[in-house]
Amino acid sequence: MTNLPCILFRTAAPASAVGCIAFALVGCAGAEEGPDQPVAKAYDQVLSWTDLRQVIPLEATPEDSAAMADQYIEVWMKQQAVLHMAERNQPTEGMAMEAQLEDYRRSLLIFNYEQALVDQKLDTAVSDAEVERYYTEHQPNFELKETIVRMRWFKVNEPDKRILRRMEERFLKGAADDLRELEIWLAQNGVSINDRSMTWIPASSMITELDIPESLVKDLEGRDGRQVIRSENGAWFLEIIERRAQNSVSPLDLVRSDIRAILLNQRKIQLIEDMRSSVYAQAIENKDVERIAP
């Protein structure tokens, strides 16, 4: 097992030196050190004043600056020591790691360039016509995994069966005058109408929201329009405005944002591919890249 090597570093360890670091970081006029004056060394690596200033907030007090500087120097030296030991004890793997790091560096450069190109040139305006066309041409991709509904409902806890019966008659009849009278009664008795008519929700969520006893759930299956489901303590007044069954095509409004994201991603891919082809063609034309015959 390899013994730990003697670590060749030096620090501004004394308290007075750390204090000088703090004053230099906040712009003390008496500091004579230059911007690249070293504050710590580990093997062939040097930590300079410039490096240290970049990690200490300008608004920090001298005391806070000193503490942060001291902590950063200590962490940096420990990291360099461990890194040196890792490099010494992994000669073979180290060569492979260098190749991996270089490959990562190249990939990162390309990624950053492509991302800047996308940020600058990608057209993010997607028209309704484009969304609708994609929806029409790819409907099998938007198959529903479960039944969804649009609905309105309210629950009435009314012990008087006669009142419940009159409410049920008005609700199921659905005439404008009957519904208006019913809404007035609900408002007077503090009963709110839960309106989900503008959004689609899964049928399973509908059951959860209504909080209907399991024994009554079967009464909801496959029934649209207005319906009243009674229990011992009251009744649920429910209107299923629209239902889309499982395995049918999802409504456009439900997948509109997904389609927009798909179209933008397609544009992004095409933009990058066009750039790559253009750069490559230009490099060939300029003879910057060429095949060398064996």
The per-residue pLDDT for 16 is 44
**Residue 160 burial (C-beta neighbours within 10 Å; 0-12, 13-18, 19+):** exposed
pLDDT at 217 over 80: no
The per-residue pLDDT for 95 is 63
pLDDT at 12 over 90: no
pLDDT at 219 over 70: no
The per-residue pLDDT for 6 is 32
The per-residue pLDDT for 206 is 87
What does the alpha-carbon distance between residue 81 and residue 43 come to, in Å, rounded to a whole number? Answer: 8
The per-residue pLDDT for 23 is 47
53/94: higher pLDDT? 53
pLDDT at 249 over 90: yes
pLDDT at 187 over 50: yes
State the DSSP string of 81-130: HHHHHHHHT-HHHHHHHHHHHHHHHHHHHHHHHHHHHHHHH------HHH
Two structure tokens written together for 22 = 């703090």
Confidence band of 53 (pLDDT split at 50, 70, 90):
confident
pLDDT at 163 over 90: no
pLDDT at 4 over 70: no
Mean per-residue pLDDT over the chain, rounded: 82
Which residue stretches of 142-251 are H helix? 161-173, 176-188, 203-210, 214-217
Two structure tokens written together for 10 = 């030096």
- CATH class, domain 144-244, is alpha beta
The per-residue pLDDT for 272 is 94
**What percent of the chain lies above the pLDDT cut of 70?**
84
Q: Mean pLDDT across the stretch 94-118?
A: 86
Q: CB under 8 Å to 84, separation ≥6 — which residues? A: 5, 7, 42, 43
State the DSSP string of 15-68: HHHHHHHHHHHTT-TT----TT-EEEEETTEEEEHHHHHTTS-TT--HHHHHHH
Please state which of the ranges 12-16, 147-151, 270-274 shows the lowest mean pLDDT: 12-16
The per-residue pLDDT for 91 is 60
Q: Mean pLDDT across the stretch 180-209?
A: 90
Span 63-90, pLDDT tens digits: 888 888 889 888 888 988 888 887 777 6
Question: What is the H or E stretch that residue 273 is in?
Answer: helix 252-285
185/289: higher pLDDT? 185
Q: Mean pLDDT across the stretch 174-186?
A: 90
**What percent of the chain lies above the pLDDT cut of 90?**
41
Span 22-48, pLDDT tens digits: 445 544 434 444 557 888 888 888 888
CA-based nearest residue to 251, from 125, 153, 150, 126: 150
Residues 262 and 256 sit within 8 Å (Cβ to Cβ): no
State the DSSP string of 132-156: HHHHHHTGGGGB-SS-EEEEEEEEE
pLDDT at 2 over 70: no
SS3 7: coil
Range list for CATH 3.10.50 in the chain: 144-244
pLDDT at 8 over 70: no
With tokens 């070293």, the residue in question is 38
pLDDT at 274 over 90: yes
DSSP state of 78: H
Q: CB under 8 Å to 199, separation ≥6 — which residues? A: 150
Q: Mean pLDDT across the stretch 104-119?
A: 92
